[in-house]
């Protein structure tokens, strides 16, 4: 019987203009024109609200506990390669799901997954209302590897996460690529709030090479 590919969602800030970085080599992209750079700067300036304190306060109003709030810098001058992204996802997601079964069985059980649902993960089958999420967007320094993936309930947490991101990228002028994007990042590969009410108290900053 043909295996069902996992139903992945890469929406909101995960797929829009400039999203193509699959590796962190900044020398492979074709440079944009001067006019395009001017347009980018103009679009960035449309976001009148912003800054660490503002977005931290907005984040603290959400129900996204046990997540970091990470400020990411836009990687400019890349053109998106959707075909390559899809192929990498097809290769990396099964590795990620199999790794969860091998190394995070306890978290999967705490999340409420049955033995059958856990076994299905090794075949790339996701439980109802669960999705695989890319923690760090490609255009902001992320790569498609297991360490950059998280298994998360679609409703309400994945929806709320993207709602927070969409506040930054969706404007009256259309979808923009802000120079700095504030992204909620789950701390564990299987996201389930454990009732600790641990809400981020600061903004962390991600640069090429890790969080600072």
In a domain, 102, yes or no: yes
Write out the residue range of the structural domain in which residue 64 sits: 12-21+31-211
Phi then psi dihedrals of residue 208, to 5 deg:
-55, 120
Task: State whether the Cα torsion 28-34-40-41 is positive or negative.
Answer: positive
- The predicted structure's pLDDT at residue 197: 72
- Length of the chain measured in residues: 212
Model-wide pTM > 0.85:
no
Which are the contacts of 9, defined by CB distance < 8 A and separation ≥ 6?
A: 131, 132, 133, 154, 158
Which token pair is 83? Answer: 């075909």
- Distance from CA of residue 135 to its chain's centroid? 3
What is the number of domains present in the chain? 1
Q: What dihedral angle (degrees, nearest 10) is formed by the CA atoms of 210, 55, 67, 100?
A: -60
Residue 7 within any structural domain of the chain: no
pLDDT attached to residue 24: 34
Radius of gyration of the chain (CA): 18
User: 182 pLDDT band (50/70/90 cuts)?
Assistant: very high
Quick check: is 181 in a domain?
yes
pLDDT for residue 6: 54
In a domain, 131, yes or no: yes
Any domain includes 6 = no
- Rounded Cα–Cα distance for residues 70 and 183 (Å): 5
For residue 47, the model assigns a pLDDT of 43
Condensed to tens digits (0 to 9), the pLDDT of residues 88-128 reads 999 999 999 999 999 999 999 999 999 999 999 999 999 99
Q: What are the structure tokens assigned to 78, written together?
A: 């890349």
Residue 79 in any domain: the answer is yes
DSSP three-state, residue 194:
coil
Which residues are within 8 A (CB) of 135 and not within 5 positions of it... i.e. 6 or more apart?
142, 148, 149, 150, 183, 185, 186
**Residue 156: cis peptide before it, omega within 30 degrees of 0:** yes
The CA distance from 37 to 31, in Å, is: 10
Residue-wise pLDDT for 20-72, tens only, equals 332 233 333 444 444 334 334 334 434 445 799 999 999 999 999 999 999 99
Q: Residue 31, SS3?
A: coil
User: Is residue 4 situated within a structural domain?
Assistant: no
Q: At what angle do helices 159-169 and 52-59 cross, to 10 degrees?
A: 150
Across the range 196-204, mean pLDDT stands at 89
């Amino acid at each position: 019987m043909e295996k069902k590919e996992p139903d992945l969602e890469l929406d909101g800030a995960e797929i829009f203009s400039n999203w193509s970085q699959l590796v962190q080599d900044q020398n492979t992209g074709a440079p944009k024109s001067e006019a395009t750079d001017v347009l980018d700067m103009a679009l960035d300036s449309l976001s009148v609200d912003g800054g660490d304190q503002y977005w931290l306060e907005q984040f603290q109003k959400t129900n996204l506990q046990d997540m970091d709030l990470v400020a990411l810098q836009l990687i400019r001058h890349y053109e998106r390669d959707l075909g390559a992204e899809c192929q990498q996802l097809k290769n990396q997601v099964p590795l990620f799901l199999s790794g969860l079964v091998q190394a995070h069985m306890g978290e999967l059980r705490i999340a409420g997954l049955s033995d059958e649902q856990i076994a299905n993960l090794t075949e790339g089958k996701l439980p109802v209302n669960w999705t695989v999420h890319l923690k760090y967007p490609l255009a902001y320094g992320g790569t498609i590897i297991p360490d950059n993936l998280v298994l998360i309930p679609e409703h309400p947490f994945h929806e709320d996460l993207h709602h927070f991101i969409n506040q930054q990228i969706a404007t009256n002028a259309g979808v923009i690529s802000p120079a700095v994007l504030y992204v909620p990042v789950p701390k564990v590969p299987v996201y389930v709030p454990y009732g600790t009410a641990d809400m981020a108290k600061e903004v962390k900053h991600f640069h090429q090479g890790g969080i600072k």
